[in-house]
Amino acid sequence: MTVTDPIASPVESIKAASALLRGDLASELEAPAPNVSHDAEQLLKFHGVYAQDDRDQRRARSLAGETLAFSFMIRVAIPGGRLTTAQWLALDAVADDVADGTIRLTTRQAVQFHGVAKHDLRTVASTLHHHLLTSFAACGDVVRNTVTCPDLAIAGGGDPGEGVASRIARAFKPATRAHWEIFVDGTLAASAVEDVEHDFYGETYLPRKFKIAVAHPDENCVDVYAQDLGLVPATHPELGSGFVVLVGGGLGRSYAQADTFARLADSLTFVTHDEVIALIGAVVETYRDLGDRTNRRRARMKYVVADGGLAAFAAAVSRRYGPLRPPLEVHLGAGDDHLGWRKDADGRWRLGIRVAAGRVRDERVGLGLRSALREVLRGRDLELIITAQQDLIVAGFAQSERDEVDRLLERHGVRGLDQLGAVERSALACPALPTCGQALAEAERVLPAVVDAVQASLDRLGGSRGLQLRLTGCPNGCARPALAEVGIVGRTKTTYDVYLGGGPRGDRLARVAHEKVELDDLAEVLTPHLERWRDEGLDGESFGDFVQRVAAP
């Protein structure tokens, strides 16, 4: 398949003609219009920017003949979710200076700013660059931000998974200077022809996005089976420490295309630390060559593995890499939410803070989580880690600082671990409306009401066990509902499909139980299932395991 093939998707032609992601972005950013062209929208994604408009205002503005309320979302790629105090404070300032006053933490340990005007995009990019951060390659058809279990990041040099996210980021960041020229430096190269790109990307990059996660060897907080490529630290009996490599996972589907589906990754091979980057490169090259460039709804790597089979995919990787070793067995436990106070190996303490739907905001001026974090960080050299559960860890406290920090957070209305309900503790949601162009229904804005209603049902039934609930506005699955005990997925503007039977281990797909349920009926639909769990569940049996057991043939 080449980009000149008449059946290649239009996006392939845009990439091929872009001069390594430049296109007409420089001139379009200078133009007075609040939006950009369709082709520019596609290229902006590679630079970490999504063009959006306020869908709450779309109809009224259209009827009035007015310009839509255009804005942009900019995503900051943060390998492993790790930030310094200075970097967090810089991001906090951006939220007020050019965005909507909030910082959104994503399930891929990145940060998003919403409501950014076109003329402010370069300001944000320059600020990020100054603080050794970037939005480049946070989106687009490239290797995206690599997620990592926080325990690996905090472990220092002692854990086999520590540092690999940064190595991956360096190795697979696109080589083109387009982002630097357009967004940071402002001076275009004399000739874009002189620029080069990595061979594993080429001039048209990958067929679609490519996601990588590094799990803890004991628990699966990053949902490693949902990734294009997953790494699980392991010890080989002869070769020592390294990684089991998983391939072919992914959760997004399309209602418009029946042959799209969620899929769990398969074990491919074992590699040592010295081999892991080369192996990933071979997998990326295989996907580059075999991925579908005609239909973006079926362009993800999971379809290459599913359609041709794991053996054929492994053979294709082997031709680029060399012989593959058999993988070791993987046994991952339930994902840790990393919340509350924890003591680290160096004697210092970390605090995991629940962030509802990942939205860091103040409830009113000077009062709320954003202001609390500024006060906590003032005068301290700490490390912050965004988790794959959209929460935030602040690490590096002395024992003597804990009480002061607790009092400060309480004063700002930040709820402690003992104040969280069984459902809200792990509930996830994507942003959805009003900004996401893919959203079919609400998600983040209705999450509190859905959580409260389901929690009320649990309380009436006398249950106190945790329940994993994830809510998305469409089947793209950004909050990973296909793996949840209760996955709620937007189907139409007012209805949702309900999936049951996943679980905290992230090793099993949920199955659809109810279709097109009205928002106000979700708790009522779930109640009979929760009643059966109460009456028929085994001691200590999670809801997802119960659903799986009673539904098994």
Q: What span, in angstroms and rounded, lies between the C-alpha atoms of 266 and 268?
A: 6
pLDDT at position 1, please?
43
pLDDT at position 462, please?
87
DSSP annotation string for 19-57:
TTTTTTHHHHHHSSSSS--HHHHHHHHHTTEEEEE-HHH
Mark the ranges of the chain whose per-residue pLDDT is less than 70. 1-6, 155-162, 186-193, 552-553
Q: What span, in angstroms and rounded, lies between the C-alpha atoms of 283 and 314?
A: 9
For 452-503, write each residue's pLDDT tens digit: 999 999 999 987 789 999 999 999 999 999 999 999 999 999 999 999 999 9
pTM of the shown model? 0.95
For 22-72, write each residue's pLDDT tens digit: 999 999 999 999 999 999 999 999 999 999 999 999 999 999 999 999 999
- Domain 340-351+360-419 CATH superfamily: Sulfite Reductase Hemoprotein;Domain 2 (3.90.480.10)
- Domain 206-336 CATH superfamily: Sulfite Reductase Hemoprotein, domain 1 (3.30.413.10)
Q: Which fold has domain 1-140+176-186?
A: Alpha-Beta Plaits (3.30.70)
Is the omega angle on the peptide bond into residue 434 within 30 degrees of 0, that is, cis?
yes
User: Where do you find CATH 3.90.480.10 in the chain?
Assistant: 340-351+360-419
CATH 3.40.50.720 fits 428-551, yes or no: no
Is the C-alpha dihedral spanning 350, 353, 359, 363 positive or negative?
Answer: negative
Q: What span, in angstroms and rounded, lies between the C-alpha atoms of 124 and 327?
A: 43
User: Where do you find CATH 3.30.413.10 in the chain?
Assistant: 206-336, 428-551
User: Where do you find CATH 3.30.70.2500 in the chain?
Assistant: 1-140+176-186
pLDDT at position 161, please?
59
Sequence letter at residue 42: Q
pLDDT at position 154, please?
74
Q: How would you class 203 by CB atoms within 10 Å of its CB: exposed for 0-12, middle for 13-18, buried for 19 or more? A: middle
